[in-house]
Amino acid sequence: MLDVQIFNFSYLETKVLNNISFQLKKGDHLAILGESGCGKSTLLHIIYGLLHLESGSISWEGKTLLGPQHNLIPGEDNFKLLAQEFNVMPYISVAENIASHLNRMDGAKDAARVDELLDVVDLVAFKNTLVKNLSGGQKQRVALAKALANKPELLLLDEPFSHIDTFRKNKLRRNLFSFLKKENISCITATHDAEEALAYSDVLLILKDGTIEKIGPPAAVFASLQTAYQAGFFGEVTNLPESLFRETTSQDKVAFLPHQLVVSEEKTKLQVVIQSYYFKGNSYLVHATWQAVDVFFEHPNAYHKIGSLLYLKTHDSFILH
């Protein structure tokens, strides 16, 4: 349904995006992971039609989208963009904000739609509250409901849960992404939250310095992380020489996540010194060192004393790429 081909995009002399190419099927959710300044927001703005693309093309259902130079009002009518600076009207109620995007031709139908969206964003109790009296996180949820009111074909979300506390965010994400699947609404989310990207997306794209590092189904991307940058979104990263784990003359290093290293009962080349423990609920994150290199691994308990020596090996399921 959506085809994105961006050969390059620059602000004046600064190149922001380069060789971006992907497709998104109807009803699918693409999550974009990347550090601040890597081009996530710019990519969403180009797709939505706020920025003119000279080198490349964006198409929807086979039709090329012409962008802001050809539209009197920038932005595609059938797309909705929820930016980090969310747009709400403070001096009317939550329900009136949501209804402002409806056509008002059928009052009963509009009221049902408003109630449905209030439930999705968990604001039923605030239906008649003036938006100016809400918290930042509540205002962000109002903006999300407004974006969904007149069912878009593609929803673009830029850090959509940034102002929402963890307890509320967990329920909201379940509600939202289930609702989008039910309504068959395509979605692209720009996020720093790797847990969210893995759990709720159909396609995961890792962006670095304006280029695609990895793209594919979340499980496949997670199983094939190769660099410290890629792995860094998913936990503490340990960079170790490949030669510690197999016979090779390569000087390359391998990036490990904590679950990929385990204690070995036999001697290995990787002997570490325990430095500290961090309790994570079901296990401990252990910080150790190997020749002044920080090493992180998981362990079910903390019975080894600080300063103890341990041998580590790779988890049986981990394959060097």
The CATH number given to whatever domain includes residue 90 is 3.40.50.300
Q: What is the full DSSP assignment across 263-277?
A: EESS--SEEEEEEEE
> Which of the listed residues 176, 206, 226 is the one where a domain comes to its end?
226
What gap in Å lies between CA 146 and CA 143, rounded to an integer? 5
Condensed to tens digits (0 to 9), the pLDDT of residues 257-279 reads 999 999 999 999 999 999 999 99
pLDDT for 320 equals 65
User: Do the beta carbons of residue 185 and residue 29 sit within 8 Å?
Assistant: no
Which of 158-162, 274-278, 317-321 is predicted with the least confidence, judged by mean pLDDT?
317-321
Condensed to tens digits (0 to 9), the pLDDT of residues 176-207 reads 999 999 999 999 999 989 999 999 999 999 99
Residue with tokens 């310095």: 209
Considering the domain architecture, whether residues 243 and 220 belong to the same structural domain is answered as no
Considering the domain architecture, whether residues 254 and 106 belong to the same structural domain is answered as no
Considering the domain architecture, whether residues 179 and 306 belong to the same structural domain is answered as no
What gap in Å lies between CA 204 and CA 188, rounded to an integer? 10
Question: Which residues lie below 8 Å from residue 276, measured CB to CB, with a gap of 6+?
Answer: 286, 287, 306
pLDDT for 177 equals 96
pLDDT band, residue 116 (cuts 50/70/90): very high
Q: What is the mean pLDDT of residues 97-114?
A: 87
> Which of the listed residues 226, 248, 272 is the one where a domain comes to its end?
226
Based on its alpha-carbon atoms, the radius of gyration of the chain, rounded to whole angstroms, reads 23
pTM: 0.91
Considering the domain architecture, whether residues 202 and 295 belong to the same structural domain is answered as no
Considering the domain architecture, whether residues 149 and 246 belong to the same structural domain is answered as no
The CATH number given to whatever domain includes residue 276 is 2.40.50.140
Considering the domain architecture, whether residues 105 and 245 belong to the same structural domain is answered as no
> Which of the listed residues 226, 246, 272 is the one where a domain comes to its end?
226
pLDDT for 204 equals 98
Which residues constitute the domain of residue 47? 2-226
The DSSP symbol for 100 reads T
Classify burial at 128, counting beta carbons within 10 Å of its beta carbon; exposed 0-12, middle 13-18, buried 19 or more.
exposed
What's the whole-number average pLDDT of the chain?
92
pLDDT for 101 equals 80
